[in-house]
Amino acid sequence: MNNNTTIKEIAEQIKAKDLTEVFVDLISKIIEVFIENELTEFLQYEKHSVEGNNSGNSRNGYTSRTIKSIFGQITIKVAKDRNSEFKSKILKPYQRNSDELLILIIKLTKAGMSTREISGLLMDSLGDYLSATAISNITKEVQEEVDAFHNRKITKKFKYLYVDATYFKIKTERNRKSAIHTVIGIDEEGYKEVLDYRIAPTENLTIYCEMLEDLIYRGWEVDN
């Protein structure tokens, strides 16, 4: 990219894959958190706990599973037990498309959600087959994953910022679309990075202003 690059040319270089990669990564991590906590409940002892010694069963690595989503295929690591007795209820055996689970995760990735809000969503969706302790553990881990993305420091200088909203149709009771607002940084060499995102029913100028203010707080500087 050079100084003669036009805004139109910059826009043409922005692809949905930049946002897709962010969501695929977050979704896969959160599903893995769900399954790890399911396995903990099944085995009745925490990972690396001495209570697992001579218990008759133990963790035994992972297997890969691919599911479909609005962001394309997502590959996740599914925790296994040595006796092959554990079956995830969240990600049912051989299930390749889980709309309800993906809707839940997209809701969980909203910035600024409180611990109580995350816990409430999880309890409503997963409380039938996960204990309050497991819900609490998942809440903590999910919040850490999402907060780490939204609060990470920006140390790289970007020549341009590209802001836009991408609409994804998410199956709900009203079958509405959601607007995922994004800020993408582009440096002089054309390197692109999703710096932040927000989810709302429709595109909103206030959301962009909030994200830009957050970027300055997180260390973003204009590269002249």
Residue among 11, 30, 24 at smallest CA distance from 168: 24
| pLDDT tens sequence for the chain (224 residues) | 455 555 556 555 555 556 778 888 888 999 999 999 999 999 887 776 666 566 678 888 899 998 887 777 889 999 998 999 998 888 876 566 566 787 788 888 887 888 899 999 899 888 887 889 999 999 999 999 899 999 999 988 888 888 888 877 665 555 567 888 889 888 888 788 889 999 888 889 999 999 999 999 999 876 55
Q: Is the pTM of this model over 0.75?
A: yes
CA distances from 84 to 37, 40, 42, 111, 175 (A): 16, 14, 12, 37, 38
For 137-184, how does the pLDDT look when each residue is reduced to its tens digit (9 = 90+)? 999 999 998 999 999 999 888 888 888 888 776 655 555 678 888 898
